Amino acid sequence: MKIRVRFSKKGRVRFISHRDVARVFERALRVAGASVAYSEGFSPRPKISFGLALSVGFESDAEYLDVDLAAPVDQEDFPRKLSAALPDGLMVVAVAPLEPGTPSLQQSIVCCEWDFEVIGLDEAAITQAVSELLERSEVVLERDRKGKRTAVDIRPAVLSLKVAGPTANGVGLSATLATDQVTIRPDELIPLLGESVELSRAWRRKQWTNVDGQQLEPLAAAGDHRRETHVRDIGPIELAAAQNAAAGSKT
Amino acid sequence: MSETTVRHSTAPTVWPQLEGLLHRVSKPARYIGGELGAAYKAPNKDLISWLFVYPDTYEIGLPNQGLQILYEIINERSDGRADRSYAPWTDLEALMRAQGIPLFSVEHHTPAGDFDVMAFNLSAELTYTNVLNCVDLAGVPVRADERNIDHPIVMAGGHCTYNPEPLADFLDVVVLGDGEEAVGEITDIMAQFRGSGSTDRTELLRELSHLEGVYVPSMYVAHYDGPALRAVEPRFPDVPAMVRKRTVSDLAEWPYPKNQLVPLTEVVHDRLSVEVFRGCTRGCRFCQAGMITRPVRERPADQVRTMVKDGLDRSGYDEVTLTSLSTADMSGVDGLVTDIMNDSDACGAGPLSVSLPSLRVDAFGVDIAAEIQRGRRTGLTFAPEAGTWRMRQIINKLISEDDLYGAVDAAYSQGWKRMKLYFLTGLPSETDEDTLGIGELAKNCVDIGRKYTKRASTTVSLGGFVPKPFTPFQWFGQNTDVELQRKIFLLKDSTKRMHGVNLKWHDPKATLAEGITARGDRRLGPVIEDVWRRGGTFQEWSEHFDVSLWTEAMERHGLSIDWYVYRHRTEDEVLPWDHLDAGLHKDFLWTDWMDALDEVGLPDCRWTPCYDCGACTGYGIEHVVASATAPAGGSQGTAGPRTKAVPVTLGMGPRQ
């Protein structure tokens, strides 16, 4: 039996890496008494697969992993038990059984919603920079890919971006950024608002999967259709992106 | 680097300032604490507070079992509390110095200077400059004589403290030997002192100097005759002339760590560790650990099983290592390993792997390895240490070639494809024939492997020998870095065309730097301080190691490397650690040194009559072993063929 786990990563534990989180979960699953299935072969590994990596230092309400279990777990009790075995700051929010054939997290996540805190410019200047960025039809970014410099238009990946107001140390932003096809990372996006603008805090609020043109929260996509609220309304730009993504995945 | 002085901070925590810096440094998880098993005992002025510091990075320091044991023991006390700290990497250190953030504990991020004790583990000479750096980063004067009652007591324990003299200017207190009992006694004295209302730091240090195993360098004075050391003597009649190491007689009374720290980020030994015995009487003459930790004290097998089971249940680890200096020598180790594997199968968790830190070089050792490495067969490591039987008799590592080839044959036949062999070079009376013998052994191992797999390979890992205090080789003049390099190239040339033999070696310049401090006296203090002031931290790291910092500092302070490192010592010479007692009689060590030069081996006294090295007799204790007979098979120190003694002299002289 496979399950999909949604968890949060907050506070000091945000400074551990994606690989560290994987190791922490491997141990916590054992402590919580879950019988994780192991791969066959010379060097058996527990069958756990993670979604998109979260950069070191970023926090999240919506991280996911899929676990292949050798024996079922009590779904009501399991989130509490697993959370108890996790360090402070990592908490299991919900668990859903994964229907056979559900695409993997890596394959199906199409975009993430973010909140950012940026420093270096005041709110008015940030607001100005945001609207200028959104007005551009093309934003070309140079990237190093395996030693080769390539130019990518990342504008289509910025699905939404708006100023949310002042925060404790700077200015808050909210964004929806695509993670399939053309993608952009938060640490690439923020410097586009100005040379002096620095990302000081980032929170991943939601991740969305695309199932037949409809965007679903990954637990809902796992087959937990009771969670109607986890279907996302999408605007025209994103609809186009979603359609592109759907078209892309079919080819 | 110490130009910017960190002010002694009274802030209860540096976390608010630190947090904003962590996204700018590599591996920020080093600094956040939060490990499973961390104590988080709240700061409280009424408690004696200890900060246990490992003077290297978090990844290297966290797994240190000694610090974890003492950390738990102090936190279990109603009158004590303990936090931990590690040397911040250079990127964070620069930010800390720029912003006036002192060294902090990883639990509460309390400034290090706010603790009553800063207790360092000294496991390697090349971390000495990091000790100074950590003290300075704490806002505490690096020199002991500049500290006052408001500063922590700067303390050290661990294997390197058997010659603490090079650090005598910087350490207030040194603890020799097992710390389990000593840390409690020190806490008692400090609590009494606090209760007395006294503010005389010297009085406290003098009180501490009365404890067995506690050495207070400032209570002693060193006398010299020119370059020679005449004596290190106590300044006061109540301070002991000879400081004896501490030895815990029964490990069963100390089932620690009970809550091994499980880090959130990857560290060098990321698995459960259970210490199965302490001490080793194999008698390898180059090995300081084996000499200073005698006698052998086994943990009862039942307790080992319980500690493994409880440890796995609470940590979630799927790997356990049974630690000791030579785990295959544990009484009934094969049965113990089988029991542990069966316990694990019975509880239905995933596959468990058991690892032993060192394998015995015989087929028996390989059989155990096969039992415990059911799945992952990556590589096996053996440590013959020397390339010829003659040399192995000199170092008393009595492995016959038959044993080694038997072990290697067993390993390749059971599916292993890669062997790793550890060797030392620069050993006493080593000839080029001995050095080239290393290559021959490796080649023969590959040839054996070829019978089973075309991919058979053997990696030779070559370390430069540094003579250590309290070993029979403490009188031996270390090979020069030039000589070590010559031997490395000699072996490299000879193995170049040996298909399947790979050679790796330790930088001879690092071996030189290690040699400077290993057997140095108090005159080395200014050299260490000089290296540190010129930025020489993290000297264990090749990207930061700089031998010229050491050689130039020696020259600046008028000290001769030849005198301190390359010179053979004579029997009547006063050694800088002669006022310390590691349990071993000096005349036993000298006789063993002479036996070494005569190519005479010495059997393991666990299974043969006592030859009175001093470790048991002087302390009224004895070996604690479940079985008084040697494990089956193998020739290491038990039944090896002995060639007739052929006396040799150190013919090649000090500058080989």
Task: Tell me the pLDDT tens digit for each residue of B553-576.
Answer: 999 999 999 999 999 999 999 999
The answer to whether residues B465 and B286 touch, using CB atoms and an 8 Å cutoff, is: yes
- Are A44 and A68 in contact, with CB atoms under 8 Å apart? no
- Whether B639 maps to a domain, the answer reads no
Residue B372 lies in a domain: yes
In chain B, which residues have their Cβ closer than 8 Å to the Cβ of A44?
350-351, 375
3-class state of residue A162 by DSSP: strand
38-77 of A, contacting B, C-beta below 8 A: 38, 42-44, 46, 56-57
Average pLDDT over residues A35-58: 90
- DSSP string over B535-546: T---TTSTTT--
**Element (DSSP H or E) covering residue B290:** helix B288-292
For residue B251, being part of any structural domain is answered with: no
B29 neighbourhood in chain A, CB within 8 Å: 15-17, 20, 56
Q: Which residue in chain A is spatially nearest to B270 when comparing CA positions?
A: A23
Task: Say whether both B240 and B276 belong to one domain.
Answer: no
Q: How far apart are CA B285 and CA B107, in angstroms?
A: 41
* Span B626-641, average pLDDT: 56
Per the model's pLDDT, the better-predicted residue between B438 and B369 turns out to be B438
Which residues fall within 8 angstroms of residue B652, CB to CB, at 6 or more apart? B429
State the fold for domain A2-98.
Answer: Alpha-Beta Plaits (3.30.70)
Same domain, B231 and B351: no
Nearest chain A residue to B416 by CA distance is: A42
Q: Which residues have CB under 8 Å from B214's CB, separation 6+?
A: B173, B174, B175, B176, B182, B186, B208, B243
Nearest to B376 among A13, A26, A43 (CB): A43
Chain B nearest-CA residue for A34:
B349
Distance CA B169, CA B521 (A): 11
Is residue A26 within 8 angstroms of chain B, CB to CB? yes
Classify strands A2-9 and A198-211 as parallel, antiparallel or unpaired: unpaired
Which chain B residue is nearest to residue A20, measuring alpha carbons?
Answer: B265
Grade residue B348 by pLDDT with cuts at 50, 70 and 90. Answer: low
B316: nearest CB among A13, A27, A44: A27
Lowest mean pLDDT among A115-119, B121-125, B318-322: B318-322
**Strand extents, DSSP E, B387-496:** 418-425, 457-464
Q: Indicate the domain borders of chain A.
A: 2-98, 107-250
| pLDDT value at A246 more than 80 | no
SS3 state at A168: coil
Contact between B313 and A35 using a beta-carbon 8 Å cutoff = no
Q: Residue B405 and residue B644: Cα distance in Å, rounded?
A: 24
- Residues of A within 8 A of B376 (CB-CB) are 42-43
Candidate from A111-120, B239-248, B373-382, B564-573 with smallest mean pLDDT: B373-382
Contact status of A28 with chain B (Cβ, < 8 Å): yes
Pick from A19, A57, A88: CB nearest B28: A57
Note whether B377 and B330 are same-domain residues.
Answer: yes
Whether the pLDDT of residue B635 is over 80: the answer is: no
pLDDT of residue A223: 66
- Give the minimum alpha-carbon distance from B211 to chain A in angstroms, rounded to a whole number: 40
List the single best residue of B31, B264, B313 to mutate versus A (max A Cβ within 10 A).
B264
Least confident among B262-271, B283-292, B314-323, B345-354 = B345-354
Which residue blocks in B8-54 are alpha helix, DSSP H? 15-19
Going by C-alpha positions, the residue among B359, B348, B355 that lies closest to residue B322 is B355
Asked whether the beta carbons of residue B264 and residue A13 sit closer than 8 angstroms, the reply is yes
For the beta carbon of residue B371, count every other beta carbon within 10 angstroms.
Answer: 13
- Per-residue pLDDT band for B6 (boundaries 50, 70, 90) equals very low
Q: Is A173 within 8 Å of A115 (Cβ atoms)?
A: yes
> Cβ contact (<8 Å) for B375 and A28?
no
Q: Is B630 part of any domain?
A: no
How far does A116 lie from chain B, in Å, by closest CA? 14
CA-based angle A51:A57:A61, to the nearest 5? 50
Q: Are B482 and B604 part of one and the same domain?
A: yes
pLDDT bracket for residue B49 (50, 70, 90)? very high
> Looking at the DSSP assignment, which residues form a beta bridge with residue B121?
B157
The 3-class SS string of B346-367 reads HHCCCCCEEECCCCCCCHHHHH
CATH of the domain at B70: 3.40.50.2300
By C-alpha distance, the chain B residue nearest A24 is B264
Pairwise CA distance, residues B565 & B642, whole Å: 32
DSSP SS3 for A189: helix
The pLDDT score that the predictor gives to residue A224 is 53
The interface predicted TM-score of the complex, written ipTM, equals 0.89
The answer to whether A230 and A217 have CB atoms below 8 angstroms apart is: yes
- Helix/strand/coil for A140: strand
**pLDDT over 80 at A225, yes or no:** no
CB contact under 8 A, B266 and A20: yes
Domain count, chain B: 2
Classify residue B535: in a domain, yes or no.
Answer: no
Rounded-to-integer distance, Cα B167 and Cα B144, Å: 10
User: Is the Cβ–Cβ distance between B439 and B460 less than 8 Å?
Assistant: yes
More confident: B73 or A248: B73
Query: Which site among B31, B265, B270, B373 would you substitute to test the A interface, given the most A Cβ atoms closer than 10 Å to its Cβ?
Result: B265
B490, B435 Cβ separation under 8 angstroms: yes
* CB proximity list for A233: less than 8 A, separation 6 or greater: none
Asked if the Cβ–Cβ distance from B32 to A16 is below 8 Å, we say yes
Structural domain contains residue B373: yes
Set of chain A residues whose Cβ sits within 8 Å of the Cβ of B351:
38, 44
Confidence bin at B639 (pLDDT 50/70/90): very low
CA distance A52 to A50: 7
CB-closest option in A27, A36, A56 to B317: A27
Q: Are A89 and B377 in contact (CB < 8 Å)? A: no
The nearest CA of chain A is from the CA of B349 a distance in Å of 7
Interior/surface letters B232-250, b for 16+ CB within 10 angstroms, e for the rest: bebeeeebbeebbbbbbee
pLDDT of residue A76: 83
Range in A199-203, B284-288, B413-417, B593-597 the model is least confident about: B413-417
Closest partner CB to A30 (pick from B35, B36, B350): B350
State residue B376's pLDDT score.
57
Residue B413: predicted pLDDT: 87
How many angstroms separate the CA atoms of A168 and A189, rounded?
21
Q: What is the DSSP letter of B452?
A: T
Judged against a pLDDT cut of 80, whether residue B137 lies above it is answered with yes
Tell me the per-residue pLDDT of B464-478, one tens digit each, with 9 for 90 and over: 999 999 999 999 999
* Residue B214 structural domain: 15-244
Composition of chain B by helix, strand, coil, percent to 5: 40, 15, 45
**Which secondary structure element, helix H or strand E, spans residue B278, and what is its range?**
strand B277-278
Q: Could you give the residue ranges of the DSSP H alpha helices within A70-217? A: 78-84, 105-108, 123-135, 186-189
Q: Residue B300, Cβ neighbours under 10 Å: how many?
A: 16
Dihedral of the alpha carbons of B37, B43, B49, B53, in degrees to the nearest 10: 50
* Across B160-165, average pLDDT: 98
* Residues in chain A closer than 8 A to B20 (CB atoms): 200
- Residue B491 one-letter amino acid: L
Whether pLDDT at B269 is above 70: yes
Write the pLDDT tens digit of every residue in A108-156: 899 999 999 999 999 999 999 999 999 999 999 988 888 888 899 999 9
A85 vs B: CB within 8 A: yes
Say which residue, B348 or B61, is predicted with more confidence: B61
Who among A15, A24, A30 is closest to B318 (CB)? A30
Note whether A178 and A160 are within 8 A (CB): no
Boundary of a domain, candidates B227, B244, B261: B244
Tell if the CB–CB gap between A200 and B315 is shorter than 8 Å.
no
- Residue B417 has what pLDDT? 87
- Tell me the three state secondary structure of residue B220: strand
User: Using CA atoms, how far apart are residues B459 and B463, in angstroms rounded to an integer?
Assistant: 13
pLDDT confidence of B633, banded at 50, 70, 90? low
Confidence (pLDDT) at B651: 33
**pLDDT of B634 above 60:** no
The CATH number assigned to the domain holding B610 equals 3.80.30.20
> Cβ neighbours of residue A107 under 8 Å, at least 6 residues apart?
A249
pLDDT of res. B629: 74
Residue A246 phi, psi (nearest 5): -60, -45
Instruction: Say whether residue A35 is in contact with chain B using an 8 A CB cutoff.
Output: yes
